[in-house]
Amino acid sequence: MSFFGEKPDFEFSLSSTLARNWTVVVARGVLGIIIGLIAFLFPGPTLLSLVTLFAVFLIIDGILAIVAAVRAASRNQRWGFLTFEGIVGIVAGIAAMAMPGLTVLVFVGLLAAWALVSGALELRAAFNLATDHGRWWLALGGIISIVFGVVLVAAPVFGALVVTWWVGAYATFFGACLLVLGFKLRARNAGSGTQGGARHA
């Protein structure tokens, strides 16, 4: 099994891993869009509702990433990126839910740290992904995460409602990137399956 290591051949590469787990990528994209729409349509009057909403998103998103990592590991494919990203999301989500008295400043700091780490991981992974497998969509998702993190770090403290709008915008755009990436991976997975069948015919 490979964690990050040297770049393997395509059969065991990140491109192959994500293509075979395109359903998980699509599910994560749909989840992000749903959370984003909820944040916009039902912003909630308190910070607690915002913390709970995004914490649930982080935990479910992290679980989906770990599921994909387990499936990749069972095929002896690259699983490090998915595992690390999943752990980061779950830990951040649990930390947010474990502190019900969280202030806006602390929550924004936690959110910024998660966005910067996950964005860096996505950018790192994008350069290991084949161009025709949606490299630039994964890179765009990473850039969006990093920009979101930087904005949160650089901005002064705002009220919960404004932070909710930021979270909604981020989750919607990030989810859309993952959705497009997922369907690109689906197309490549179908294509590789057809080619594999032709080679064995």
Question: What is the pLDDT, as a whole number, of residue 145?
Answer: 92
Of 124, 61, 126, 46, residue with least CA distance to 92: 61
Question: What is the pLDDT, as a whole number, of residue 11?
Answer: 39
Question: What is the pLDDT, as a whole number, of residue 173?
Answer: 93
Question: What is the pLDDT, as a whole number, of residue 157?
Answer: 64
**Per-residue confidence of the chain (201 residues) as pLDDT tens digits?**
443 344 444 334 667 777 887 888 899 899 889 988 888 887 665 566 777 878 888 898 889 888 888 877 777 767 777 788 889 889 888 887 787 666 677 778 888 888 998 899 888 888 878 787 788 888 999 999 999 999 888 775 666 677 778 888 898 999 999 999 989 888 877 766 544 444 444
Distance CA 71, CA 132 (A): 22
Question: What is the pLDDT, as a whole number, of residue 8?
Answer: 41
Question: What is the pLDDT, as a whole number, of residue 80?
Answer: 77
The DSSP-derived string for 155-169 is SPP--HHHHHHHHHH
Question: What is the pLDDT, as a whole number, of residue 33?
Answer: 92
DSSP code of residue 129: S
DSSP code of residue 8: -
